[in-house]
Structure 1
Amino acid sequence: MQEAAGIFQPVLDLVAAYPYLMLFVGLLLAGEVVLLPALYLATTGRLDPVAVILVAVVATMLSDLAWFMIGRWSPSGAVEKMRQRHSSRVVNRLQGLFSRNGPRLLFLSKFVYGTRIAAQVLAGALNMPFRTWVMVNFAAVVTITLAMAGLAWGVVGTAQHLEQLVEHIEVAFLLFLLLAIAAYLLVGTMMRKRWFRS
């Protein structure tokens, strides 16, 4: 087990030394999966929350820009790749929806797991104006990042309140237990006096 830990130690040292750079690279390669632990670390005070949110927005925008440009530079190739993964009927329907409601679908794709990349590629392939793409995508990235941050703070805050509540419950239970023991002894003493008095 120590050998396995030793193998990963250089990576762990790198993450500890450059957490925001590692967050940036992780978001470029893996997306929002990397954001969740970073938000947890931010909510517990180990990382700066503003820096985490800024890095997340910049990295996600750059990643999305790469997918958008792939669609823009090779529209037929990008759509054909999608047809290889999904049926032509699904891709045709998606293209039709996207040509009518592109900005709305681009925004909503951030909230539906597994659709982000396809939406970026289609936005590029269907020649969505770059300015529209930037505005809609930026709004979506900021919205989803802040929503995830809000959820993270809510969960961690609730857990901390729950921890405090558990401490109070432990004290209350201890008091209840002491009162129950005292009542048991008192009632027992009274009953013994009553039974043995007659």
Structure 2
Amino acid sequence: MLEAVWPFLQSLQGAPAYALVFVLLFICGIGLPINEDIVLLGASALTLKGVMEPVPLMVVSWFGLLCGDGLLFHWGHRFGTRVLRMGFLGRLISEQRLETMQATMRRYGPAYIFVVRFMPGVRSVLFLAAGSLKMPYRHLFIFDGLAALIQLPLLVYGVRYVGGRWEEILELMQRFQGVIIPAIIVLLLAVWLVRRRNSRERQV
């Protein structure tokens, strides 16, 4: 699907381009088989060609991600396990898998939603599981929104930094999509912990 949409996106300018990115990210969020990290990387690359600007792209992408995740969370919140009878969602996740994800959410609590944003392949299921546990909506928007505020600048400005090599990055993402984003967040957390420890040592 993405291969068919991509040439069309590259032919757009301004508002229509942003609108299409929003739609793509929204449908990624509700579980359709499109990798949103690849969408974001590709859209970021188009800022190098003047199709979109970085800051408006990040704003539109943030709302697209949160709306898609929020709708899936809402379905879980409203319908619980009955959501498995809802057409494609029933094919997306089995009852046993939903129960496993619910156990994960119970174990780590609402802050785990922050980590979920950086976990390709299981985001949709985990947001659905979080909703089915009747977590407050504010937990989703706080933790998922904060994580997206970190993810988007990393991807957009990361692509702009590597410039002409973005296609190599995109190819690596497609090949190792389940590893790269988690590796990035682990690296960021490691840097934060090292800086925090150094700051404490200086205070002592």
User: Aligned runs of 1:38-187 on 2, under 5 Å?
Assistant: 38-78=43-83, 85-86=93-94, 88=96, 90-156=97-163
1:68-105 residue CA offsets vs partner (Å, 9 max, x unmatched): 100011012236766984472x5433222211213232
Q: Which residue of 1 aligns with 2:192?
A: none
- Which blocks of at least 5 consecutive residues in structure 1 are unaligned? 1-7, 160-198
Structure 2 gap segments, 5+ residues each: 29-35, 167-204
Which structure: greater helix fraction? 1
Contact 2:48 2:163 in 1 (8 A): yes
Higher gyration radius (CA): 1
8 Å Cα contact 2:21-2:43 kept in structure 1: yes
Secondary structure (helix, strand or coil) at the match of 1:124 reads helix
Q: CA deviation at 1:44?
A: 4.2
In structure 2, do the counterparts of structure 1 residues 125 and 52 end up closer, same or farther at CA, with 3 Å as the change threshold?
same
1:153–1:16 Cα change, 3 Å: closer
With normalisation by structure 2, the TM-score equals: 0.62
Asked if residue 15 in structure 1 is aligned to residue 22 in structure 2, the reply is no
User: Cα distance 1:87–1:52, how it changes in 2: closer, same or farther (>3 A)?
Assistant: same
Aligned partners of 2:25 and 2:64 also within 8 Å: yes
Closer, same or farther in 2 for the Cα pair 1:105/1:146, shift >3 Å? same
**In the superposition, relative to structure 1, how do residues 19 and 71 fare at CA in structure 2: closer, same or farther (>3 Å)?**
same
What are the superposed Cα offsets for residues 106-139 of structure 1, whole Å, 9 maximum, x if unpaired?
Answer: 1111111111111211111001112222111111
Distance in 1 between residues matched to 2:50 and 2:84, nearest whole Å? 44
Mapped contact 1:53–1:146 kept (Cα < 8 A): yes
Change (3 A) 1:122 1:61: same
The whole-number CA distance in structure 2 between the counterparts of 1:70 and 1:82 is 12
Q: Distance in 2 between matches of 1:56 and 1:154?
A: 19
Q: TM-score, with normalisation over the residues of structure 1?
A: 0.64
Which segments of structure 1 move beyond 6 Å, counting only runs of 4 or more? none
Opposite residue 12 of structure 2, the aligned amino acid is: V
Task: Provide the aligned C-alpha RMSD in A.
Answer: 3.0
Is the partner of 2:12 in helix, strand or coil?
A: helix
| Secondary structure in 2 matching 1:36 | helix
Aligned-partner SS, 1:21: helix
